[in-house]
Each structure stands twice: as C-alpha cells, then as structure tokens.
Amino acid sequence: MPPLTIDARGVTVRFGKFTAVNNASLTVAPGEVFGLLGPNGSGKTTLIRGLCGLVPLAGGTATVLGHDVNTESERVRAQIGYMSQKFSLYEDLTTRENMDFYAGIYGLTAKQAMDREDELIALTGMGPYMDQYAGRLSGGWKQRLALLCALLHRPRLIFLDEPTAGIDPVARRDLWNLLFRLSAEGISLVVTTHYMDEAERCARVGYIYMANLLAVGTPRELKEMPGVTPPGTRWLEIYDLNTAGLLEKLRKIPAIQQATIFGQSIHALVEKDRSLAELGLENVKVVDAEPSLEDVFVTISRAQAAKI
C-alpha cells in the first residue's frame, strides 16, 4: 500500500485560549477525494491551514506527503495546491499573467511553465480566456482559473476550500468532473463544502463541529454509525402532498424523534415498535429509509451539543 498523503493524529490548533481544532485525526490516501463538512466557523479552514503548516499545531502530529507540517512546512507548501473559498487571484491581471505569476512563484522554468500551461489549458478549456482580465471572468471560469493556478506545479495534494460556493450548477458539475479526473491521476483532494450531494460524491467524509472532528468515514460508514440510528429507532421516508402540514402534526407526536422535509418527502426518526397508527401515519405512503448524510450530521451535531 502506498504511503498516506495525509496522516494527521490528534491535531490541535489554538489561538490564544480559543481552541479552533481539537484533537482531530484523519488520513487521506493517494488519489482519494476527501470531503470536509461542518458549519461555518467550526474549524474547517483552520484544520486545512494546520495541515499546510500555516498555523502551528498546539498538539498532535501531521505528516503531509511524507513531511512533518510543523518542521517542514515549506516542503509541504511546495508540493500542495490550495484554492481558497473566495476568488483570490489578481483581477487586474489577465488569465495568462496570473498563471505566469504562479508558475514563477512555484519555481517552474519557462519551458516547464509553457508545457504545463498548455496541458492545463487543454484540461480546463481555458484557451479562449487567456488574455481576459481575471476580474471579468464568470464565477465558474474564475474557479477553473484558480484551480489551474493551483495545479501548475503538479501538486500531489490539493486543498479546495468551498470551491463551488456561489457558482451555477453546470459549472459545479464541470468542476467536479475535473476533480475526479485529477483524482484518477493519483492526486489527492481535500474539499470543504456545504452541499450534501457533493459530500456524497466524496470517497470519504469528515464532519467537524465546534472544533471537534466528530466523524470520519465513507458516506456509507457514516450513515451506519450507531449514534445516527439509536437502538430501538428506525428511519422512515414519508410521502404526502401536503408535507408542510404533515410535518406540523408529526412534530407533536412524542414517538417521532426527528422529522425534516426533503423535497416531496419527510425524513423521520421514529421509535421502532410503534405501529403506523400510533405514529399518525396511516393514510400516507411510508417506506423504510436509510438516513441521509444530512440526517447524520444533524444527529451527531445535536448529540455533541447536548454533551457540552
């Protein structure tokens, strides 16, 4: 088995007295797409910064691409790509100028830069936009350019901090297709996102809540976590035309522990031994269901909040 791309054990980051990341352990294998989820301010970005060696670790160890992030952060940074949550290229520079700048920063020779740029232009379809000012590009193209700049130095690991926030669905799908192509080339990707469908696409997912990495695993593993479906309960998917009205009613029934609308249906966590009549679900279509990732995150967040 090839060595892990990221091997983080008990990573802790503190800013003064405030603990931004508490005892987080995770691994990322070569070519793996790892999704990092969690509410805003929960510590996602800080965890990434810690893994890049940008903020010192107050506890734990992290090895990224074989280098300790605390002692060899420069080596780490030379081999990773990073795409931040807001567009952080130079808007008054053209696409090409932005690329040339990053090629220079990463120490590519002129020849290397030219070859690599051609390669990436072919991959991303950036060709027609090379001489446009980056500030004039649409959201999707801006993201592609940012990704392209992050790929110039052939990193073996890329961190993407909410790469799809605020771009249209088509651009979003294109970007994900691009990410999977990179993954197929053996590049590891760590992606933060708020979108559940994106989380489902990841090979493995980590969920961070109030500085604690509460769960790490494949989406399937997370859904099968014992805490998500406590003993004596089961998940139901309930279909009704008037979902909002039904939800009102269901929330008043004590045997229904959770209920949330998903489009045309309601996801509910109910006590196992109750009949449909007892649950007030006689006249609607009900099927057994597995929890969605959102159900998982909501349930473990509540459990964690209750602990504190």
Can you give the binding site for another protein, defined by CB under 8 A?
52, 54, 56, 72, 74-75, 77-78, 80, 82, 84, 86-93, 97, 100-107, 159
Nearer to another protein, 104 or 186 (CB): 104
Closest separation in Å from C-beta 210 to another protein: 23
Closest separation in Å from C-beta 213 to another protein: 21
Closest separation in Å from C-beta 240 to another protein: 46
Closest separation in Å from C-beta 64 to another protein: 12
Closest separation in Å from C-beta 151 to another protein: 13
Nearer to another protein, 77 or 172 (CB): 77
> What tokens were used for 112?
């290397």
Nearer to another protein, 133 or 239 (CB): 133
Nearer to another protein, 82 or 297 (CB): 82
> What tokens were used for 80?
């990773």
Nearer to another protein, 96 or 274 (CB): 96
